[in-house]
Structure 1
């Protein structure tokens, strides 16, 4: 449920509208590619986490297999990504609330959501797990209902709405309405719509039996997520083309909500908006949990201030929670200053770091597999098919996605913010190592 909660969220329910608007029916191809990369990432991350349950996250594993600079960069970069992602999810919550009450200033629901999620994460991890379980259960059930209604609408139709069929997908007038640029934009959005799959590996330290629990979760949940995404996009594309409508990419409403509005079922649209609101809260809950544990991991390994390592009597890293909340006031500020494009601005900041994080995970898995014996790999409860070769190919694919951002206007900001951030992390590591060496000599 942690994996489902982290993945099925804003990327699918809101960001997919941008992908559909840019790629049309070809969006199915982009989500298939993104899903395959996500499956490979999940298997690679979980395989390493199960082999090293005592290491705190894949940043520590990168430290072991790629060296201290890679580990330092991985964890601080990932922490920044997920910390800012909390702001992205919080803004999405505000957008969904304004579907019902458009006159409400965006910053108000954003601030309320931020306060609530901090409160939930201050409770012990069992409480977090319970909340996330129910959040995920609601949206999984809703997606199943959406797919059932979508299948009925596509095949036999609904009252007042004839069957759409699959002709909008199979006989579209244009599979690339915005050319190659539209396909690239959709691929970038689709790939990172699966962001969060790596969070499953971070639960190893708090799982009763990671060798049993994590492989089982990886096998069962990632396949479900993959099918949910693809089938949902089939419904959205079929219905939108059949009724002569399409998401405009403005990110003011979920395409899942628009489908029911277009087909004349406003009550279902309102219910679905509640579901996507729940999905955003669920994803927000997960990414905030992951950001706090990442910072705590850094402190445990001496790569962050010692105060971030402290926990209360329930084992909750309260100081790390306070520091990781940086994305929440940022979301409130951006929503107050620039409400019309708050989500797009925060999304652009996140994309670059997320891409590099995935590349580093794949690179770590390449080194991990090349050091393991055939017997160790055979005895592993979960192994990525194709081994290091699959990870190497996936890393190249991700690098291609990163480079393509330079040629897309709406994502070029990712390089503008991301490249200097990486440079700061590397310089900080170098300065820290220099200071520590001088102290040890003294």
Structure 2
């Protein structure tokens, strides 16, 4: 019988050393990365000002999904992650699929972060070799994650603080530029009317609005890190609800607020799909020094998100090993109680960013392909969380009745979330670049089906 988290903790393995502030900022650090800082340039060019509606809708649905995850995990603290939740409530095959899909999803996501880190570095040094930024980034992330989990939490806390302060500062500067009627060298005037004066609020119609969902969904990847930290949180009954309940505020401030400020200062048609709109906003305004500062901030943001991904994947691989669904070597912890072998294998995977960039026409092309695959896989993971919640309501009605953290809307909200994910999957078929990646995604699930059959046969022996 698998050991509970508390049994593992008692044996001196995973340690409950993440405090409330660590859990809060890890959740923010994972969710605010290149999907917002880099990818929002493409979403703005596709949808125009209506992109804020896209981010708001996705954020609202994911808030419900995280509430569902929170209710289920708090109902039984023996769950180490949502892979355990899926295994218990849906079936062992679902736990196997969810655990490995989540691992691969975050690996792909971290590869995307490393790709755009290369782009940010080339903002300063255009001639830097493509292989150098990924190698340096991976070496740095590995050294950080091989320290204790408390040290990781502390580093991620400060990484995330930089992002939060930068976004708030950008919003404040944007509002100030609108207030004084700032005029850029190209004649563009900062004004609230930029949100509707050029083609209206939906200038690209429904088609452009729908196409924006792919990159926008990627921007929210990492929200579920709240569930991954449960095994190492000091007081999950307090920290998890606080982190989940903060999601709506994060959406308004960091997504809607930042993108609104950018489009008020920079007319949406002036926003490049190939570059970070956060950097471009200041560059267009002729504030070169500020653009360099913002480029440093978004580079830090990408490193922070990749750092969160490395943390998440290593813990998921560790959990899979304890569930006898991954090689036993990944059960080993270092003297500092971190899964060292899981970290090493994942870091090697991050270096695939080098051939991807070499084979793609541009950094954004490689980024779009990788993020589409990641988005499809994360939609599946989020969907499994919702299905697990529905099964929990059926199998354990007494737990639901006793819960002090029920999902707003209950079953109706869960079914609405599943319908929304089906809609987002459909939007991935609208563009050639996302369609190709979508069609390639079933290869992963075919591989998982074969792996599950092999795993079951070995288990029977």
Tell whether the structures are fold-level matches, with TM greater than 0.5. yes
Q: For residues 320-364 of structure 1, give each alpha carbon's deviation from its aligned partner in whole angstroms, at most 9, with x where no partner exists.
A: 112222431111222344362332232233222112111111111
Aligned to 1:390: 413
Q: Does the Cα contact within 8 Å between 1:50 and 1:204 map onto a contact in 2? A: no
Q: Are the counterparts in 1 of residues 183 and 285 from structure 2 also a CA contact under 8 Å?
A: no
The normalised TM-score by structure 2 is: 0.89
Give CA-to-partner distance per residue, 1:348-394, whole Å, 9 cap, x none. 33222112111111111121233343x64354343220122212210
1:256-289: CA deviation from partner (whole Å, max 9, x where unpaired):
1111111221111111111101111110100110
Larger CA deviation: 420-429 vs 3-12: 420-429
- Structure 1 residues 19-70: Cα deviation after superposition (integer angstroms, max 9, x where no partner): 0000011111111111112211222222222223222210110111111111
The change in CA–CA distance for 1:294 and 1:226 in structure 2 (over 3 A counts) is farther
Is 1:75 matched up with 2:99? yes
Counterpart of 1:331 in structure 2 is 353
Indicate conservation of the 8 Å contact 2:105/2:377, yes or no: yes
1:420 aligns with 2:446: no
> By percentage of residues, which structure has more helix?
1
Contact 1:22 1:177 in 2 (8 A): no
Q: Is the 8 A contact 2:193 2:264 kept in 1?
A: yes
Relative distance call for 1:221 and 1:390 in structure 2 (3 A) is: closer
- SS at structure 2 position matched to 1:377: helix
Instruction: Find the counterpart in structure 2 of residue 290 from structure 1.
Output: 312
1:182 and 2:204 matched? no
Does residue 188 of structure 2 align to residue 166 of structure 1? Answer: no
Moved more, 220-229 or 35-44: 220-229
Q: Structure 1 stretches of 5 or more lacking a match? A: none
Contact 1:84–1:326 (8 Å) recurs in 2? no
Check 1:181–1:97 CA distance in 2 against 1; reply closer, same or farther (3 A cut): same
Matched position secondary structure for 2:39: helix
**Residues 376-385 or 198-207, more deviating:** 376-385
| Aligned equivalent of 1:434 | 457
Note the C-alpha offset of 1:13: 0.2
Structure 2 counterpart of 1:351, from 375, 396, 402: 375
TM normalised by structure 1 equals 0.93
Counterparts of 1:348 and 1:220 in 2: how far apart (Å)? 27
Aligned to 1:211: 237
2:167 aligned with 1:143: yes
For 2:172 and 2:403, how far apart are their aligned partners in 1? 38
8 Å CA contact retained: 2:45, 2:269? no
Name stretches of at least 5 consecutive residues in structure 2 with no aligned partner.
1-24
Contact 1:37/1:191 (<8 A) preserved? no
Aligned residue in 2 for 1:34? 58
Superposition deviation, residue 138 in structure 1? 0.7
